[in-house]
Each structure stands twice: as structure tokens, then as C-alpha cells.
A and B are shown apart, each in its own frame.
Chain A
């Protein structure tokens, strides 16, 4: 294996795994995504046109690998509604802050993968929309649409509780019926 590639994996492995993990939310899948992306990148390591910035190349490989995974609708998938009530009991600011982040993490898991990917690239990697578009292979306008829809869903779900650390519970339908 090429020495430069080894150095790259050793120096950037942690960052890549962290990125993959927040992207997919699954530790095992994160490992798989990173390993697969690096194995594929290795084949063309010496020919990479972007060797001066391999992170961008590898990140794109991880993103595309993630988006290409086919996922069936599983009866075992955690539905969006399940949030432990314990979070609501958090008393201190620190606990409330943790609870709010836990809630946000669960909401992220319910987003469509492209929306989640855009939000992770924008708010974790701090990438501009044109670089996100390049990673996803779409137009910057499409990135903005995914971001807006993803954020909108998060805002709706968090509602007035956004940032308070309170856990959402089932809301009765306005026409009544919930007793």
C-alpha cells in the first residue's frame, strides 16, 4: 500500500469516521462507508486529480456510498414518534441541553437521506452549497431545496419546544377525538 495513503488514513481516519457516523447515525454502517470509500479511493490514489485536497474526494465517496444504499421500509424501523419521556424530566440547563440534542438526533434519523446529507454537510462540515452540490452531484438550487425542507421538518417537529429540551408528545388533532 502506498505510504502516503497510509499516512492519510492514519491521520484522517477519526475525522472520516465521525463524519460518516453523523451522516448515517449507525456505527457499523459508518465503518463500512469509510472502509469502502477508502478502498475505492486507494485504487486511484496515485492518479487523484485532487490529491492536494483528498478530504473532499473521500468525503464525496462516502456521501455517494451512503446515498446509494438501498433501504427497504422495515417494520423494525424506529418510527419518528418514539421519544423517551425521560428527557422531559431534565431539570438543569445542562440536562435540558442534552435532551434537546438527543431529540434533534432522533429527528435527524427520520429525515430522508438526501435532506440529512445536505444538513450534515452544511452544519457539520460547514460546506457552502456549491461544494455540497458537487458532493451530491446535483445543482446548488437542489441543495437549497433539500436544506429548506429538512430544516422545515425539524422546525415543525420541534415547534415551540425548540431549544427548550422538552420532549414532544402526541398532539391531539384540532377537530378533537383525543381523550
Chain B
């Protein structure tokens, strides 16, 4: 069977797995109403803001100190100004293949990665992944077999792979770390090997997508990508010796989602993960606090482009008040980009 025929059959076969249309009309009506409200708000927003500002100013000026709301006694808080250091990527590129754009680094549990963008802005030109000893994320990701042929990279026996348009070279360094240099942009093996040989043993910074005013005491960042920041909240229970998160250990996950994606996620988990939701105020933003037997998730509507998704996993560490204070101190950096996939 030729690929075109197989492609057509595949698409028609998989189309049967599409979502059901039941409820589509209601969902479209909701969305139309939402658009309408957004347009109305946009039209009246400026005028309202002016009026609110004037009224608020008048109230502040006229309210005697004695009439102010009594201050609630502070709950015990586990929050403190951040003192952790962000992880780094262990290498800095020492040579740029043609087409190389700006690199950036990210860390996801035991794997740290450096991504060299292509100047055309599409799929990256080169990826460098480094995995701590004892885990097998990269071996599974790239279906690696043992290296150890006659070729060497940086003085170590190298293995090569080429699969589904991605070519790569891998080796283990003296500390047992697995390093993979790969590209899905057609770079040749000699080019990849040159890139690998020219890597400098100099830390490359991992940029956080957000800044934080407060974090839970003892929190350790385990995932830092342009769209996600995850903390292990109790390192003795949340982290394995290799630095990877332990399933069930308390973590606090921050994701940046597109508003539509966030809405789709809320619909998909409603009644399953959350059976209660409250509208809340988070700093200067509206939020939605969802609770259920599996924990809490907070959505903060930062802008038309970003929803901050804050999810607690494992035994809750933060009080409700702390969770809202923590989220209120989250601010986007220029490195922020949204991600698609909140996990349940």
C-alpha cells in the first residue's frame, strides 16, 4: 500500500475517534455569550475603570481609620521569599551550525535540555539532552540502544540513531550522564558530532517563565520550561536521589495555558477531579479555585493570552490563603510561553 492510500485510510479511521457532537450547540452558545460579554466589557471597561477609581479615591479620602474593616489575624504561613537557585544546563554551545538561532535551556526532572532554535522559527535546529544516571527517559524517548562503537565523541564511545526524521549521537560521560545531541532538521552526523565536540563545559542558564514574590519554604524547582515551573514541596518525600520527582510526593505545578485550553481542561475534569469551584480574587486578577477529592487547582486569568494553572499534587501543604497569596505573587517574564498539556 502506498503512503497516500495509507494516509487516507488512517485519517478516515481515526476520525471515528473524534469527540461526540452532543452538547456542541450548547457549548457554542456559551462561547457566543462569552464573546458578547467580552466585547461589552471592552467597550465599557475604560469608563468603568475611571468611575471605580474616582469612587475608590473618594472612599479612601473620606473613611476614617476607625471605620476600616478589622484586620483578620494572620494564619500560620509556610510562604517565604524565594531563596532557591534555578538549575542550569551543563554545557554552552561553542559552535553554531548554519541556521542556528537563539538557544534556550529547560529542565524536566532528571533531564536537562538545550534547544537551539532555527532562525526560521519553526522546529528547532539542534536539541541537546543530558540525563542523570539511573533513569531511562532518553533511552525510551529516542529508542536508544547501547552505544560503544568505534566512533568517539568527546573521548567517549558514541552511539548513533536515525529515526522518523530525527538523527542523533549519544554518549555517556565520565560521571555516567547520558548526553544526546540530535536534530530533526536534516543536520548530518558530522555536523552533529562537531556541535557535540564544540560544547563548552560551562553552565547555560535556565530562564524561568515567571518571577515569584513568595514560595513555600523548602520548595525545590524540579521542572523549569518556558511554560511550566514545578516545585517539590518536601524534598525528602518528593525527590528521588537522582533529582526526579517521586510519584505522590507533594508538588506544586505552575503551567501557563492559553485561555481556551484552560477552559477545555476545566470542562474535561469537571465532576471528576473537581466538584466545587469558587470565584476568587488573586492579586489584581480574577481566578477560579477548584477543589475535589484529588486536590486543588487554581486558575488565574492573567491576560487574554495566559491563564496561570496552579495545581497541588500529593498531600496539601498550602492553606487556601497561602495558595492565593502565592499565586498573587506570580509574574510573567519575557521568557514565558504557553504550554498545551495540563496533566490530570
* Residues of A near any B CB (own CB < 8 A): 1, 6, 9-10, 13-14, 16-22, 26-32, 34-36, 38-40, 42-43, 69-76, 79-83, 100-101, 104-105, 107-108, 110, 112, 119-120, 123-124, 151, 153-158, 162-163, 168-173, 175-179
Contacts and interface: CB of A to CB of B under 8 A. Distances in A.
A151 B3 CA distance: 8
A21 B159 contact: no
A176 B338 contact: no
B165 A35 contact: no
B258 to A, nearest CB: 7
A58 B15 CA distance: 18
A1 B248 CA distance: 47
Given A30-B18, A35-B24, A81 B142 contact: yes
A156 B24 CA distance: 39
B10 A74 contact: no
A98 to B, nearest CB: 8
A101 B25 contact: no
Contacts of B141: 79, 81-82
Given A39-B35, A151-B7, 15 more contacts: A17-B24, A18-B16, A27-B19, A31-B24, A38-B28, A70-B337, A73-B124, A76-B341, A100-B10, A101-B9, A123-B7, A163-B1, A169-B143, A172-B161, A178-B159
Nearest to B150: A176
Interface string B139-159: 011111111111100000111
B17 interface: yes
12 contacts: A17-B21, A31-B264, A39-B35, A70-B337, A101-B9, A112-B122, A123-B8, A163-B6, A172-B160, A173-B189, A177-B148, A177-B159
B115 interface: yes
Contacts, number: 227
B14 A101 contact: yes
B162 A170 contact: yes
A82 B28 contact: no
A34 B21 CA distance: 10
B87 interface: no
A127 to B, nearest CB: 13
B2 interface: yes
Q: Which of A6, A104, A120, A156 has the most CB of B within 10 A?
A: A104
The secondary structure that dominates the A interface is helix
B171 to A, nearest CB: 10
A32 B227 contact: no
Contacts of B189: 173, 175
A10 B140 CA distance: 44
Given A71-B340, A172-B160, A151 B4 contact: yes
Interface residues of B, number: 79
B11 interface: yes
A13 to B, nearest CB: 3
A179 B159 contact: yes
B7 A82 contact: no
Contact of B149 (A10, A105, A124, A177): A177
Contacts of A170: 142-145, 161-163
A174 to B, nearest CB: 9
B225 A162 contact: no
A177 B147 contact: yes
Contacts of B13: 101
Interface stretch (B77-85, B106-114, B233-241): B106-114
A85 to B, nearest CB: 9
Contacts of B148: 177, 179
Given A21-B18, A30-B18, A104 B149 contact: no
A100 B10 CA distance: 8
B18 A123 contact: no
Q: Which of B3, B161, B167, B258 has the most CB of A within 10 A?
A: B3
